[in-house]
Amino acid sequence: SDEITVEKVKAILEQEKSWITWHRTLPNENVLQEVARAHVGFLPSFAETYGYSMLEMQAAATPLITSNIRAMPEVNTNDVGWRVSLPYPDGLGDHVPDQEIRDISDSMRQQIVQIVTSILENPAELAKRSQGARNRIATYHSPVRHAQRLQQIYEAAV
């Protein structure tokens, strides 16, 4: 059966423990260290509102594979990461029939396999997007730049 159960996940984790590390909990500092060690981050969500974890991964120069829903395309642009196409750019907030969810999940898996294969075949592209991710954070999400811009707005209003 294709049904995912806790037992199946535990069995996979046990079988693949040489390269998969599972933590029940992890302090934020350790999470950020793990993110920095990763080659690629994954957030192929059906209904993400903003995805601050995308920003944390990009700040660590970890490019992402995400869905194309809601704010994700704005943060994870094609020059700094990869996107999986879903037929619902606003996310799956409404009821979607189970069969359609299975079809979308199958499509996501196929697209992720294609993306990962492409990454393995083109390691230079991974390095390029990694640097692009870090640069994007410095350009669009710098607290210093935001503070300067906010000060300019206040000064212009006074």
**Ordered domains of the chain (ranges, CATH):** 27-157 (3.40.50.2000)
Sheet order of strands, 41-43 included? 41-43, 64-67, 82-84
pLDDT at site 69: 85
pLDDT, tens digit, for every residue of 109-135?
999 999 999 999 999 999 999 999 999
Angle at 121 between CA 80 and CA 116, to 5 degrees: 60
pLDDT at site 20: 86
- The mean per-residue pLDDT over the stretch 4-13 comes to 89
Give residue 25's pLDDT band: very low, low, confident or very high (50, 70, 90). very high
pLDDT, tens digit, for every residue of 71-91?
888 899 999 999 998 887 666
Nearest to 122 by CA among 144, 25, 97, 130: 130
List Cβ neighbours of 43 (8 Å cut-off, separation of 6 or more).
51, 53, 54, 64, 65, 66, 67, 72, 76
pLDDT over 70 (residue 94):
no
pLDDT, tens digit, for every residue of 37-80?
999 999 988 877 778 899 999 999 999 999 888 888 889 999 99
pLDDT at site 157: 93
